[in-house]
Amino acid sequence: MTELGVMTGPAKLGFLFAFSPGLDRRNGTYIDKQPAGFLRQPTLSRELAGITIWRQYAYLLPYVYGSGLAGYRRELIDTPDYYNNSSYDRFNQGLNQEGYMLDALVLAGRLDYAVASNLNVFATFFTAERASKGYPWGFISPQYSSGPITDYFYSDSGYTGNVMLDFFTNSLTPSIPDTSLGYEIDLGLAWNLLENWTIEVVASRWQPGRWFSYACIDKSNTWRTPNQFNNYGTNPGKTIDPIMALRVDLTSSF
């Protein structure tokens, strides 16, 4: 990861280049020769996440969606799971969990301008490509239980409302050929209203890339029984609409 920039008067221009190597997958099998074994070790990857770096340049793709690979912190929660374990490790559930970028090549830029001593406005641009082709078609899907629903955590339909990363349902599924994760543009301001009060507003627009058209199942397809005849539950030709967000933070220090 390399970050550089220049300051002149009230303006500051920064650039970020980052690379995180990805998984090695051959014939449907994940092997142990990949250069970044920590990608499958979430406890260690938290230490290598660089959350603060990503957050400065983009909000949706790295922070909220964790680069599309569930890149956010794990939680041990005291709720019965499908197998009636009293506590379990919730890894792929929920969004906005302090995400980060995994298996990606990132280029980003940020322009800050101090309108006044207590008011800064900024604009950012963020684009990323998946570094490896180590992920199968349709491995991102709604999390569901295939057996009878026996506890309150699951809905009657068998869906938990969370996201599941499924590497093994069809181990011979081909790897995703397109590496584009899309681009994001953010606009925002940070205004020090009073001595100890600051408000920050960020408006974000992320256009998901073609990688997600292959990675995410299409619920109009027969995705619960993936095979080569239904594109492994995906619709590779589909276009995903942009995702937009508005975040407002009011911070008090005392």
**Interval 84-97: pLDDT, tens:** 554 444 444 444 44
What does pTM read for this prediction?
A: 0.81
98 vs 32 pLDDT, higher one: 32
24 vs 229 pLDDT, higher one: 229
User: What percentage of the chain has pLDDT greater than the value 90?
Assistant: 43
How far apart (Å, rounded) are the C-alpha atoms in residues 145 and 11? Answer: 53
155 pLDDT more than 80: no
Mean pLDDT over 22-42 rounds to 65
Beta bridge partners of 187: 123, 203
**Interval 166-213: pLDDT, tens:** 777 777 888 999 999 999 999 999 999 888 899 999 999 999 999 999
152 pLDDT more than 60: no
- Amino acid at position 187, single letter: L
Q: What is the pLDDT of residue 33?
A: 67
Q: What is the pLDDT of residue 118?
A: 93
127 pLDDT more than 80: yes
38 pLDDT more than 80: no
Are β-strands 159-165 and 75-77 bridged in parallel, bridged antiparallel, or unpaired?
Answer: unpaired
239 vs 203 pLDDT, higher one: 203
Give the range among 22-31, 119-128, 213-222 with minimum mean pLDDT: 22-31
Q: What is the pLDDT of residue 77?
A: 47
Asked whether 226 and 233 are in contact (CB, 8 A), the reply is yes
Q: What is the pLDDT of residue 254?
A: 77
Cα→Cα distances 95→35, 114, 131, Å:
28, 32, 23
Q: What is the pLDDT of residue 84?
A: 53
Asked whether 66 and 58 are in contact (CB, 8 A), the reply is no
Residue ranges making up the domain that contains 79: 2-252
How far apart (Å, rounded) are the C-alpha atoms in residues 62 and 85? Answer: 31
Q: How many domains does the chain have?
A: 1
